[in-house]
Structure 1
Amino acid sequence: MKTLFAALVLWWLLAAVPAAADDQFRVLVVAVPNRYHHDYTVVAQPRLEQLARQHGFDLDWTWNTSPFDGELSSYDAIVLLNTPGDELRAAQRTALEDYVRAGGGVVAVHRALIFNPPGDWPWFERMIGRTFRIHPMVQTALVRVADPAFPATFALPARWTWSDEWYEFGPPLVDGLRTVLSVDERSYDPTRIWPGQVARGMGADHPVAWYHAFDGGRVFVTAVGHPPAAYDDATYLAHLYGGIWWAATGRGIDADAGADAGD
């Protein structure tokens, strides 16, 4: 009787949990630790896996770039979580280009926006859309929602207090970038930086998240996400998931807005 009861409980538990995603979509998260971004990984992995269970999508996690040596077409989106393009070897770079040209989605988070040396892979820099210049020390600032019609902003207040490294960028490298979030430089000190370095800010127009259609695929970029504690923050996770959902499916934005962004 106990065995039968245990079997029934196990069946109920399995039945109550959605299938690995009901095949809604499949995401690859590439989280290669580096000198300045490594402690976030122990927090981020369980939280993103929880997001996958909550929203019913499949998620594969890797600590290295080996998946780029294989077939990527089964993924609807690839998340470069603090993983820049310079981590990829030549053949792996070609694999990412082919994946995007076949309609794949990419989500680039924080450190993934920095490519060294600049100009070594122009395609990747155009995919990101802007070139990183420098950032001041971590500070609390006021983030403004620039596009309330994009899924990565749905759970955010119109004005959001957040602490991060406020990356500065050069001008857009491609047409069609749509700003999602911007930071108000009046709410922090853009010049507060380490001795020997100089940061001046970007002025009134300082985007920190954007999206665009690129080379056949969809790309969502967010510079927000330096502190490991971000991955324990429900608002930040909602921001990140909104970008993942759009990159994987093209859904969640108005048809008129999405016409130029792969919807």
Structure 2
Amino acid sequence: MLLMLGAVLGLLLSGGPVRAESQYRLLVIAMPSKYHYEYVPVAREGLQRMARQHAFDMEWAGSPQVLEGDLGGYAAILLLNTPVEDLNPAQRAGFEAYVNGGGNVMIVHRAAIALPANSWPWYERLVGRTVGVHPMLQTAAVTVADRGFPAVWGLPERWLWSDEYYVTTNPYGVRITPVLNVDETSYDPTKIWPGQVAKPMGREHPVAWYHRPGKSRVFVTTLGHDVEAYRDPHYLEQLMGGIWWTATGLGEAR
């Protein structure tokens, strides 16, 4: 026993590798799709680095089959560009049960879209908005709408960013708190492919928000189309702030 204690003490004093105790468990579901697949290895590496730095456990899944198992141990589920229309009835039921039981969800970019529209009303209410079309990828000024929310602490007031700025509607009357807006005067919100029509949303055009359906916490960022986003420090800071709040409920200025 004395030898064992001595070995542990020696390891601590020598600065050897001692892993911090995990604060919570995060499940990331990242399913590749037609337009979103290159991001997977880059995002996985970045999120693994975050997990080590901020002492939480991250489990990575490339398939929705995990939703058919026991989800009770996860502080939050992150849907990272996941095309949710690919979930089968059992997987949808498992996910709904997790959320209805107080589970927390973070939704990133493509995962905010449920195709076709109105095919899964429960999920669209969870997102808080229904996504319609989006103009072509453009550079624009993203502005901070809620400086007290952790996802924007590391961002400037006006953030030069290039992305697909989703046009959204609120058919279910869900109340959200915008975290980031995009300034429509800084890009062309009508620039879209032939045969499609995009209309400006106006002064209030949220691209990230949060809300609390029931006992759950939900954070949504519609940013994150290009693989290079997952190498950008500001974008990763946004994700980390969203993960922290979604999993713990901490950090929000009151």
Superposed CA offset, 1:149-195 (max 9, x none): 00111111111110000111013634430000000000001111111
Contact 2:144 2:158 in 1 (8 A): yes
Letter in 2 for 1:213: R
1:24 aligns with 2:23: yes
Gap change, CA 1:95 and 1:204, over 3 Å in 2: same
- Pairs within 5 Å for 1:1-263: 15-19=16-20, 22-171=21-170, 173-254=172-253, 256=254
- TM-score by length of structure 2 reads 0.92
Superposed CA offset, 1:122-156 (max 9, x none): 11000001000111111110000000000111111
Contact 2:129 2:174 in 1 (8 A): no
How far, CA to CA, are the matches of 2:165 and 2:213 in structure 1? 24
Q: CA deviation at 1:93?
A: 1.0
1:4 corresponds to which residue? none
Total equivalences in the alignment: 245
How far, CA to CA, are the matches of 1:176 and 1:251 in structure 2? 20
Aligned-partner SS, 1:217: coil
Aligned-partner SS, 1:209: strand
How far, CA to CA, are the matches of 1:228 and 1:154 in structure 2? 23
Bigger shift: 97-106 or 60-69?
A: 97-106
Contact 1:176 1:213 in 2 (8 A): no
Aligned-partner SS, 2:95: helix
Where do 5+ consecutive residues of structure 1 fail to align? 1-6, 257-263
Letter in 1 for 2:77: I
How far, CA to CA, are the matches of 1:60 and 1:141 in structure 2? 34
Aligned-partner SS, 2:198: coil
Where do 5+ consecutive residues of structure 2 fail to align? 1-6
How far, CA to CA, are the matches of 1:17 and 1:71 in structure 2? 29
How far, CA to CA, are the matches of 1:157 and 1:253 in structure 2? 18
The alignment's C-alpha RMSD in Å is 1.8
Letter in 1 for 2:143: R
Contact 2:25 2:57 in 1 (8 A): yes
Q: CA deviation at 1:68?
A: 0.6
How far, CA to CA, are the matches of 1:138 and 1:127 in structure 2? 26
How far, CA to CA, are the matches of 2:57 and 2:144 in structure 1? 29
- TM-score by length of structure 1 reads 0.89
How far, CA to CA, are the matches of 1:106 and 1:165 in structure 2? 22
How far, CA to CA, are the matches of 2:170 and 2:116 in structure 1? 18
* Identical aligned residues as a percent: 52
Q: CA deviation at 1:30?
A: 0.3
Contact 1:152 1:242 in 2 (8 A): yes
